[in-house]
Amino acid sequence: MTTAKTSWELRLLPIVVGSLGGTLLLLNRLLTPALTESQARSDVIGVILSALLILTGLLWQRVQPIPPEAVVLMGEEGFDLAEDLPEAVKTELAWASHLLLTNTVTRSLVVYYQGRVLLRRGVLGSQSDVTPGPILKRVLETGKAVYLVKLAIYPGRVEFGYLPENTQGVICQPLGQVGALILAANAPRSYTKQDEAWVAGIADKLGYTLEQMVTASPEIESDSPSEKQRKSSSPGCGE
C-alpha cells in the first residue's frame, strides 16, 4: 500500500512542478514593468519547459496506471503437509511452495491430487478439505489452467472456501489430469504473463513427480472418500 502511494505521488510530481513553474513565470511577467530581450527569451524557454513537465506527468498517468491495491489476507499462517508422502516428494512440495510464496504475489496455496489435499501453505483458509466445484472440475477435466483475475466478481468464488475469505485472485493450474495447484493472491490482476508461465513450469515438474510417486507406491494413489468406501467394502478388508 505504501509503495503504491509513493508511486502515485511521484507520477504527480512533474504536473505539480510544471504548474508551479508556469504560475511563477506568469507572476514574474506581470510584476515586471519593463522586459528586456533576454528576459523575454528566458520566459519563453521557461514556459516551454513547464509545458513539457505537465505533458510528461499526464502521459505517466496513462502509461503507468495505478497498481492494484493489495490486502492482508484473513487467516493464520500455516504449513500442512501430508505425512504419508515419500520424503523426496515432501521436499519437492516444500521447495516449490516456498518459491511461489516468496517470488510471486501468492500468499496461500493448496496442492490437490487424486481426491486429497497434499499440501496447504501460507495464509490458510477456514476449510482444510477441498471439494471440487465447477471451476476446479473444469481444470481437472480439460487440463487447462484458469486464472480468475478478480475473484470477487465471479459467482463461482464460493467453491474456494479452502482459501482465505478475502482472496483477491486465484490461479488453478493442473497437475496432470488428476490434480491441481491452487494459488491465492492478495491483489487483483497481479499475476503477470511471466508469473503464469513460471507457475505452469513448476506445476509440470510437480505433476511429473507425483505421477512417479503413484507409480512407485500405488497404495498412496487415492484417499478420496469414494475410494475409502470402496476399499472398506472390499472382501477381506479389516481381516
Contact 130, 117 (CB under 8 A): yes
For 17-74, strand residue ranges (E) read none
For 163-174, the pLDDT digits (tens) are 999 999 999 999
Q: Which three cell numbers stand for residue 15?
A: 504536473
Residues with Cβ within 8 Å of residue 14, at least 6 apart in sequence: 53, 54, 56, 57, 60
3 state SS of 78 = strand
164 within 8 A of 107, measured Cβ to Cβ = yes
Q: Provide the percentage of residues in the chain whose pLDDT is more than 70.
A: 82
Q: Quick one: pLDDT band at residue 4, thresholds 50, 70, 90?
A: low
Domain 77-220, CATH number (from 3.40.50.1000, 3.30.450.40, 3.60.40.10, 3.40.718.10): 3.30.450.40
pLDDT classification of 67: cutoffs 50, 70, 90: low
Q: What is the model's pLDDT at position 226?
A: 40
pLDDT in tens, 29-54: 777 777 677 777 777 787 888 888 88
Return the domain boundaries, the chain. 8-63, 77-220
pLDDT at 102 over 90: yes
DSSP per position, 161-225: TTS-TT--EEEEEE-TTSEEEEEEESSTT---HHHHHHHHHHHHHHHHHHHHHHHH-GGGS---H
Between 61-65, 87-91, 166-170, the lowest mean confidence (pLDDT) is in 61-65
Cell of 214: 503413484
Q: Out of 10-14, 182-186, 187-191, pick the least confident.
A: 10-14
Name the grid cell of 153. Answer: 466478481
Residue 225 banded pLDDT, cuts 50, 70, 90: very low
Among candidate residues 226, 217, 202, the one with its CA nearest the CA of residue 119: 202
The candidate with the shortest Cα–Cα distance to 20, out of 59, 56, 47, is 47
pLDDT the model gives residue 237: 40
Give the other-Cβ count within 10 Å of 179's Cβ: 23
Please give the distance of CA 1 from its chain centroid, rounded to a whole number: 15
- Mean model confidence pLDDT for the chain: 83
Whether the pTM exceeds 0.75: the reply is: no
127-131 average pLDDT score: 92
